[in-house]
Amino acid sequence: MTVATGPIEAALVWLNDPLNWTNPGGILDRTGEHLAISAAAVLLGCLVAWPIGLWLGHTGRGGGLVVLVANLTLAMPTLALLTILPLTFLGFGRPPVVVALAVFAIPPLLANAYTGVRAVDPEARDAARGMGFSSWQLLRRVELPLAVPYLAAGFRTAAVQVVATAALASFVNGGGLGQIIRAGFGLDIAAGGGQILAGGLLVAGLAMLVELVLALVERLVTPRPLRSRGRRAGRRAADAVSGA
């Protein structure tokens, strides 16, 4: 075995060991877990937040509720939800982790869905009404398609945040790449430093990768004429959430 001189060298040594990738509980296993948990959480978040956000935007009420939800989840420690939920009817294992992460995915999804529908040109809405669209048709065939850039922006923000937060699932043995970091901290800092750093690189790398892929997806699902506007819109909605 090579004598590692510093944490970075030790991290490279750790990453270069093929067994660390293919072992049960190795990098490949953990990445799969990480992505499965994150995907389930984002999906759950979308199922809850999008219908509510679109409906609130459609009726034009509940802007205060959106802000309230965003503020409440900002003050709620992730660690608290991760430790409380397994002790409820959800039981231990993956379901409580998925629910905890979904809670933190909801504010960006909700705010962007709400803002997206509110930002629809009132003239387009009036025109649709004039054509005899019912309230439901208006939402489904005018407001929803026009809100897609916002929905995509919210999806990206939420997904990146969930992938980043999923690392904390390791506190309750929920699996995912954070598990590698936790195991490293379980060792002595001198012995585990390389593994800790390697785990950090993997988690950060995965978050950046998801960010890049979803930026591409966001661009693809945004109709060409809306592209530059959509980007600005997404940023504005994000600012609305962060209160900027």
Partner 1 sequence: MSFRLSYRADPGNPWFSWQYVRDNSDTILAALREHTSLTLRAVLIAVLIAVPLAVAAYWFRALAGPILAVTGVLYTIPSLALFAFLAPYLGIGVVTVLTVVVLYALLVIVRNALAGLTQVPPEVREAAEGMGYGRWGRLFRIDLPLALPGILTGLRLATVSTVALVTVGVVVGQGGLGQLIFAGFQNNFYKAQIMTGTLLCVLLALVFDLALAGAGWLLTPWLRRRSAA
CA dihedral 56, 59, 65, 67 (to 10 degrees): 80
214 binds partner 1 (CB under 8 A): no
Angstrom distance (rounded) from CA 17 to CA 21: 7
Q: Which one of residues 57, 96, 178, 234 is an interface residue with partner 1 (CB under 8 A)?
A: 178
Number of other CB atoms surrounding residue 60 within 10 Å: 10
Site for partner 1 in 54-93 (CB under 8 A): 71, 74-80, 83-84, 86-87
Closest CB to partner 1 among residues 22, 242? 242
Residue in the structure block whose two tokens are 């992938």: 163
Name the token pair of 193.
């430093």
Considering only 22-30, 55-63, 138-146, 195-203, which stretch makes contact with partner 1 by CB under 8 A? 195-203
Residue in the structure block whose two tokens are 């430093």: 193
Smallest gap from residue 184 Cβ to partner 1 (A): 7
Name the token pair of 42.
């984002």
Smallest gap from residue 75 Cβ to partner 1 (A): 4
Closest CB to partner 1 among residues 57, 193? 193
Determine phi and psi for 177, rounding to 5 degrees: -65, -25
244 binds partner 1 (CB under 8 A): yes
Q: Residue 111: which residues within 8 A CB-CB, separation 6 or more?
A: 53, 66, 70, 154, 237, 240, 241
211 binds partner 1 (CB under 8 A): yes
Chain contacts with partner 1 (rule: CB under 8 A): 7, 71, 74-80, 83-84, 86-87, 160, 163-165, 167-168, 170-172, 178, 181-182, 184-185, 189, 193-194, 196-197, 199-201, 203-204, 207-208, 211, 242-244
